[in-house]
Amino acid sequence: MQVTRRQFFKICSAGLGGSSIAMLGYSPTAALAEVREFKLARATETRNMCPYCSVSCGVLAYSIGDKSKNAKAKIIHIEGDPDNPVNRGTLCPKGAGLLDMINSPNRLKFPEVREAGSNEWKRISWDEAITRITKHMKADRDANFVEKNAEGTTVNRWNTFGFLASSASSNEPGYLTVKTLRALGVVALDTQARI
């Protein structure tokens, strides 16, 4: 052990600050040593899935409130579902950070429109958004729908409108999406699965 004389003095004097404070009764409070409270004690637990990769890990989403009428649920923590046979409670860095995706400052909250040639977004109501979009769609469809091809075969397609579908939405909205699009005659339809 090599300690210089100067170090020795430093150790004594500097270290003494705290020690002597306690000695003189200036300890800030009685030094109880409680661990941090377990923050999920009465949080509501909901079984869900991670939205990222195709391992589709089971997650437990914890939200504040007990689902009573006046308590607005807010997800405060997410961890792996230990029962799920595939992930067995584990999560990767993406899944373990899922809370920050849900709370991302870049989440869209309201319908918006960017008008032709404009340089900004404008907030609009759902009703206005649906009205304007469907007006475009109907005009486009009525103008470009092909009922029969050159040979006279009934083809009932609308190919000036295209749709790229999500691979992160659940099976049920996925099914409803394909059902409604095919009813409209859409053929230019693809999904993230391709690429």
Partner 1 sequence: MTNHWVDIKNADLVVIMGGNAAEAHPCGFKWVVEAKKGRKARLIVVDPRFTRSASVSDFYAPIRPGSDIAFLGGVINYLLTNDKIHHDYVKNYTNATFLIDEGFKFDDGFFSGYNAEKRSYDKATWQYQKDKDGYAMVDETLQSPHCVFQLMKKHYSRYSPELVSKVTGTPKEDFLKICGMIAETSVPGKTMTILYALGWTEHTVGSQNIRTMAMIQLLLGNMGRAGGGVNALRGHSNVQGITDMCLYSEVLPGYLSAPTDGDKTFDEYLAKRTPKALRPNQMNFPQNFPKWITSLCKAWYGSAATKENGFCYDWLPKKDAAYDAMAIFERMHQGKMQGFVCQGFNPLASMANKRKIGDALAKLKYLVIIDPLSTETSEFWKNYGEFNQTDPAQIQTEVFRLPCTLVAEDSGSYTNSGRVAQWHWKAADGPGDSKGDAEIMAALFLRLKEMYAKDGGKFPDAILNLAWPHRIPAKPAPEELLMEISGKALADVYDPKDKTKVIAKAGEQLAGFAQLRDDGSTSCGNWIYGGCWSQAGNLTARRDAADPSGLGQTLNWGFAWPANRRILYNRAGADPSGKPWDAKRAGIRWTGTAWAGNDVPDMRPDAAPEEKVMPFIMTPEGVARLFAPLMAEGPFPEHYEPYETPLDNNPFHPKNPKATSNPTARVFKGDMDSFGTAKDFPYVATTYRLVEHFHFWTKHAHINAVLQPEHFVEIGEELAKEKGIQAGDKVKVRSNRGYIKAVAVVTKRIRTLDVDGKKVHTVGLPLNSGFTGVTKPGFITNTLTPFVGDPNCQTPEYKAFLVNIEKV
Partner 2 sequence: MALQSLDIKQRSATTTPAPSVRKTVEVAKLIDVSTCIGCKACQAACMEWNDIRDEVGRNYGVYDNPMDLTDKSWTVMRYAEVEEKGRLEWLIRKDGCMHCLEPGCLKACPAPGAIVQYANGIVDFHEEHCIGCGYCITGCPFNIPRISKEDGKAYKCSLCSDRVAVGQAPACAKACPTGAIQFGTKEDMQDYAAKRIGDLKERGFDKAGLYDPAGVGGTHVMYVLHHADRPQLYSGLPADPGISPLVSLWKGFAKPLASLALGAVALGSLFHYVMKGPNEVSKETEKEVEKEGSQ
By CB under 8 A, tell whether 101 contacts partner 2. Answer: no
Binding residue for partner 1, selected from 31, 66, 78, 79, defined by CB under 8 A: 78
**Cβ atoms of 76 and 63 closer than 8 Å:** yes
By CB under 8 A, tell whether 126 contacts partner 1. Answer: yes
| 58-64 β-sheet, strand order | 44-49, 58-64, 74-80
Site for partner 1 in 146-165 (CB under 8 A): 147, 149, 151, 153-165
- Out of partner 1, partner 2, none, what residue 71 binds, judged by CB under 5 to 8 A for its kind, is none
DSSP 3-state of 40: coil
Q: What are phi and psi of 146, to 5 degrees?
A: -110, 110
Nearest distance in Å: CB 122, partner 1: 10
Look at the block and give the residue holding tokens 């699965």: 193
Distance (Å) of CA 30 to CA 26, 33, 74? 10, 9, 36
- Out of partner 2, partner 1, none, what residue 31 binds, judged by CB under 5 to 8 A for its kind, is partner 2
Nearer to partner 2, 15 or 162 (CB): 15
CA distance 23 to 17: 10
Residues that bind partner 2 (CB under 8 A): 1-4, 6-8, 10-24, 26-29, 31-39, 77-80, 87, 89-97, 99-100
